[in-house]
Structure 1
Amino acid sequence: MKRYLQFWLILTGTMLLAVAACNLVADPYGLFRLVDEPGFNRIKPSAGAHGTMAKAYQVLRVQPRGLILGNSRAEVGFDPEYEAWPADSRPVFNLALPGTGTETTIRFLQHVLANDNAGSKVVPKVVVWGIDFMDFLIDARTSRRIAVTSKEGNRLLTNLDGSPNPTRALQQARDYLESTLTLGAFIDAIETLGHQGDPYAVDLTPLGFNPMRDYLKITADEGYWAVFRQRDLENVKAYLRRPKDIFDADGHSSPRLDDLRRVLSLCRQHGIALHLIIYPYHSHLMEIIRITGHWPAFEDWKRAITHIVGTEAGRRGEPPVLLWDFSGFDELTTEAVPGKNDRQARMHWYWEAGHFKRELGNLILDRIFTLADAGDQFGTLLRPENVEAQIALLRTQEAEYRKSHPRDVAELESIAEQIKSRQRDLRNH
C-alpha cells in the first residue's frame, strides 16, 4: 500500500511540475516573460482576458519612461513602439485597461510611481491619458466613487491613499500559483503554443499593446458594416442607460473630476509631462451622444476639464499639462462605413465607432509630440480662452454632418427609437 501511495504521490508531483514548467515557459498571460521568442510563445491569445493582472506586474519590470493610460480605446489605438515617442520617454508601456474608469487610472499610476526595483526607481517622464466622456457621467443624486475590485486593487503596490498595500504579497502569490499550477492556465498555455503561426490571433504585446489582429479576420468575414452596426447598437443601449450629469448635487465637481485633479497633482509632484487626449470619436458615436440626449453634458464636460487643466496644471517651469481635443467632424472621424453587402472594402482609421486603429493613433502621437500637421483642424489644444469657440465649431460641424449624411443619421435615430420602444414595452409589461 505504501508503494502504491508513493507511486501516486510521485506521479502527481511529477505532473504538477510538468504543468508548472509548461505554464511558466509558455507564459500564456505574459506574466513572467522568462522566455519570449517569436514563433514559440511571443503571441499571447489569452493575455487580453487577464490584462489587468498581467499589466500590473509587467509594467514594474519594464520600468517605463513613457506611459499610456485610459480604457480599451487607448489600449488598441496608441502604439507604445511608434516612432513619434520622444527618445527620453522610451520604453513606453501601454497601461490602458479595458472597461475601467478614472479611479483605476489613479491606482495604477500610483502603482507605477511607487515602483522601486532593487533600489533603482524610474519615474515616467511622459504620460498620455485617453479620457473618455462616458467615464465622467454620473447621477447627481447618487454620485459616488466606483472602487476597483478587491483582487485588482490587492495586487497593486499602494492603497488609494498612497500608503503601502499590505495585501499585495499574498495576492501576488495567488496570481503566480494560478498562472502556473492550474488546469485553466495549462489549457491556455497549450493554446498559446498552438497559435504562434496564426496571423489573426488575439495578442497583448510585451509593452501592453493590443494590435487587434483578430479584427482583421472579423471585418474580412463579416464586413465593416456589420461590425459597425453591432457596436452602434451597443453604444446606443449603453448611453440610454447612462445618466446625463457631469456634476454632483452641489453643481461644482464630482468624484470623476476629482480623480482628474488627482492625476494632475501626481504628475506635477513627480515632474511628469501629461497629455490628456479627448478621443477621436467616429461620427456615428458623436451622433449617438446627441441622439441619446447627452450633447449638453458633452459640452459641459469639455468646459469642466478645460477649466481644471487651465487652473490646476501647475506653474511656469513645471512639466506641461496639455489637453488635446480630437473629437469633431472632419475627414478622419467621418470616414465612410462600407455598404451592407461590401465585404471587400477596408476602413483605414476605425475598427468600429468605439475604437480607432493604430494608424489614427499614430497621427495623434505625431500631433502631440511633433506638432505635425495631421490634417485641417485635427487636434486642438483646449484652453479656457478657446473652449467656447471650439464648442461652437463642433455644433456647426454636427449640424453640417446631419445635412450631408442624412442616411447615417436616420439609421442611428431609428436604432435608438427601436431600443426605446422595446424598453417601454418591457416597463409596461
Structure 2
Amino acid sequence: MKDYRRYIVSFFILLLFEGLGISLFNWFIDPAGVTTSSTIEGVNNVKTAKEKQVRLFKTVAVAQIQPRAIVVGSSRTEFGIDPSHEIFNRSRPAYNLAITGANMYEAKRYFDHALALNPELEKAVIGIDFFMFNTLKKNAQDFREERLEKDYIIPTDWVNILFSINNFQESINTIKTSSENPNEVGYFYADGRRNADFYIKQIYQSASGKDLFRTVLRRNDFLSPNDSEKVYDLSDDFLQAFSELIESCKINKIDCTVFISPSHVTQWESIRVGGMWATFEEWKREVVEITPVWDFSGYNSITSEPISRKMKNYFDSSHYRKEVGDLVLNRMFEVNIEEVPQGFGVWVTEDNIDRHLMEMRSQREQWAKDNPEWVKMVEDLKK
C-alpha cells in the first residue's frame, strides 16, 4: 500500500515539474510576444504565434505601449500604413492596431481598448473595407471581449500562454524559424505593422504574379461559383459600430481620418463579377452619411498596376505595400504631395458621392477596355 502511495506521489510530483518546465519554456520563448522575456537572435526573434494570435498580442502591446496615435482597420491597413511616417511625429508613440480579418465591430472594440488604456489618445487613422461591413463576417475565433480595456493579461490567456500544447508547439516553431532567420524581425514590426516581405516568404513561399493573384482571388467570397448562396449582406450593426467609433473620436477630441483601402483593381472586379457592385456603392453612400472619407479604391494609376512577378505596389490582389500606404498618408495629410499621383485619393462627402461613383464607373469602363485579359481572368475564376 505504501509503495502504491509512493508511486502516486512520485507521479504527481513528476507531473508538477513537467508542467512547470513547459510553462517556463513557453514563458521564455514567448512565441506570441506577450511576456517580458528577452529576445535572442537565432532563438526566439521570430515569434511564430503572432501570425495566429494577432488579437492577443496586440491587446497586450497596446497595454504596454499606450500609444497616443493608432491605426485601425483590417490586414490591408495592417500591411500598408506605417506608424513611423512623419505625419505621426507629433503624436508618439504611434501603433498599428489594425487587426487581421477584422469586421467593423472588432476594429471598433480595439479602438475602445486603446482609448480606455490611454485617455490622452489624440490621433486615429482608420482604414475601412467593404468586407468589414458584411453581416456574414463574424468575430474571429481568437477574439475575446473579456481581454479588452484591461492593462493586464487575463487568467485564461495566461493558462494558454504557459501551459497549452499548442503554445508549446509554437515555442518549438519559434526556435526553428528563428534559427533559420536569425536576422529577421518576423511577421510584425515592433510598431504593429505587418512585415510584408517575411509574410510573402513564409506564407506565400515567395510566390508572386498572376498565379498568386488567382490563388488569393479564389478565396474571395464574391467569386463563389454557387450563385444560390448569399455572400454579402450589408450590416446595420457594423455601420452602427463605425458610427459609434466616429462619435467617440468627436467626444474625446481625437483627430480622426478615415480612408477606403486602395486594393488592386482585380479586387474591385471580383465585387462586380460577384454581382455586388450596387451594394458596394450603397455601402459608400452609407459611410459618407456618417463621416466624409478619403476613397483610394477604384481604377487609378496606383491600383491598376499591371500584374507581374515584380510589382511595386502590391503583392496580391487584396494587400498594398507600405510604399502605397505612404502615398495614402501623404495625400490625406498634405505632406510630400508632389509624390502622390494625380487622381489617387478622392475626398468624398454626401455632396459629391453620386458624382464620385459615376466617375468610378467611367474609369472602370476605360480600364476594362484597355485590359480585357485581366477582366477575363477574374470572370474565369467565377466560372
Fold conserved between structures, TM > 0.5 = yes
1:388 aligns with 2:365: no
Aligned counterparts, 1:41-80, within 5 A: 41-80=44-83
C-alpha distance in 1, partners of 2:224/2:77?
A: 19
> Residue 134 of structure 1 aligns with which residue?
131
How far residue 136 of structure 1 moved from its aligned partner, in angstroms, is 2.4
The aligned counterpart of 1:318 is: none
SS at match of 1:395: helix
> Which amino acid in the other structure matches residue 393 of structure 1?
E
Q: Which residue of 1 aligns with 2:194?
A: 210
2:295 to 294, 302, 325: 325
Candidates 148, 156, 161, aligned match of 1:174: 156
What is the rounded CA distance, in whole Å, between the counterparts of 1:24 and 1:74 in structure 2? 30
Which residue of the partner structure matches residue 342 of structure 2?
376
Q: Tell which deviates more after alignment, 381-390 or 261-270.
A: 381-390
- Tell me, yes or no, if the aligned pair for 1:402 and 1:409 is still in contact at 8 Å: yes
Q: Which of 6, 17, 20 matches 1:14?
A: 17
Q: Is it true that 1:230 corresponds to 2:230 in the alignment?
A: no
Cα contact 1:32–1:58 (8 A) shared by 2: no
Deviations 1:10-37 (A, max 9, x none): 4433332222222111110011243234
Alignment of 1:56-205 (within 5 A): 56-80=59-83, 82-115=84-117, 121-137=118-134, 152-157=144-149, 172-199=154-181, 203-205=187-189
How much has 1:195 moved relative to structure 2? 1.7
Partner in structure 2 of residue 349 of structure 1: 313
Q: 1:287 to 1:362 in 2, by over 3 A?
A: same
Superposition deviation, residue 375 in structure 1? 0.7
Whether the aligned pair in 2 keeps the contact of 1:195 and 1:201 (CA below 8 Å) is: no
Which residues in structure 2 correspond to 1:410-425 (within 5 Å)? 410-416=376-382, 418=383
Contact 1:103 1:146 in 2 (8 A): no
Structure 2 CA distance for aligned equivalents of residues 201 and 84 of structure 1: 22
The residue number in structure 2 matching 1:251 is: none
What is the CA–CA distance in structure 2 between the aligned matches of 1:296 and 1:111, rounded to whole Å? Answer: 34
- What residue number does 2:328 align with? 364
Corresponding residue number in structure 2 for 1:261: 243
1:270-281, aligned counterparts within 5 Å? Answer: 270-281=252-263
Match of 1:275, SS? strand
- The question of 1:334 aligning with 2:304 is answered yes
Count of residues paired in the alignment: 372
Could you tell me how far apart the structure 2 residues matched to 1:97 and 1:114 are?
Answer: 18
> Which amino acid in 2 is paired with 1:43?
V
Asked if residue 31 in structure 1 is aligned to residue 34 in structure 2, the reply is: yes
Tell me, in whole angstroms, the C-alpha distance in 2 between the residues paired with 1:214 and 1:114.
31
Give, in whole Å, the separation in 2 of the partners of 1:286 and 1:234.
Answer: 14
Name structure 2 gaps, 5 residues minimum. Answer: none
1:389, distance to aligned residue in structure 2 (A): 2.4
Asked whether the equivalents of residues 26 and 192 of structure 1 are also in contact (C-alpha less than 8 Å), the reply is yes
Residue 302 of structure 2 aligns to which amino acid in structure 1? Answer: L
Alpha-carbon distance, 1:400 to partner: 0.3
Name the CA distance, whole Å, in 2 between partners of 1:73 and 1:331: 18
CA distances 1:282-316 after superposition (whole Å, capped 9, x unpaired): 11111111122211222222222112215xxxxxx
* Segment drifting more, 45-54 vs 236-245: 236-245
Query: CA, structure 1 residues 307+414, in 2 after alignment: closer, same or farther (shift >3 Å)?
Result: same
Quick one: distance in 2 between partners of 1:40 and 1:85? 35
| Distance in 1 (alpha carbons) for counterparts of 2:299 and 2:195 | 26
Report the AA paired with residue 321 of structure 2.
Answer: K
Q: Structure 1: which 5+ residue stretches go unaligned?
A: 116-120, 140-144, 159-167, 248-253, 311-322, 339-344, 419-429
C-alpha displacement of 1:129: 1.4
Q: CA deviation at 1:209?
A: 2.2
Please report how far the alpha carbon of residue 348 of structure 1 lies from its aligned counterpart in structure 2 after TM superposition. Answer: 1.3
Question: 1:209-238, CA deviations, whole angstroms, 9 ceiling, x for partnerless residues?
Answer: 221313136667544221101112222435
CA distance in 1, matches of 2:64, 2:143: 20
* Distance change in 2, residues 1:238/1:135 (3 Å): farther
Cα deviation, 1:148-176, whole Å, max 9, x if unaligned, reads 76961121238xxxxxxxxx98x811111
Cα distance change of structure 1 residues 133 and 30 upon mapping to structure 2, 3 Å threshold: same
* Structure 1 Cα separation of the partners of residues 21 and 231 of structure 2: 52
The counterpart of 1:297, out of the listed 258, 261, 279, is 279
Could you tell me which amino acid in structure 2 is paired with residue 333 of structure 1?
A: T
Equivalent position amino acid for 1:26 in 2: I
Map 1:401-412; keep pairs closer than 5 Å. 401-412=367-378
Deviation at 1:79, TM superposition (A): 2.6
The alignment yields a C-alpha RMSD, in angstroms, of: 2.8
Q: CA deviation at 1:263?
A: 0.5
How big is each residue's C-alpha offset from its partner over 1:34-75, in whole Å with a ceiling of 9 and x where there is no partner? 323444423211211111122122211110111111112122
- Between the aligned partners of 2:318 and 2:56, the Cα distance in structure 1 is 24
Q: 1:234 to 1:148 in 2, by over 3 A?
A: closer
Structure-2 change in CA distance of 1:151 and 1:337 (3 Å): closer
Q: TM-score, normalised by structure 2?
A: 0.87
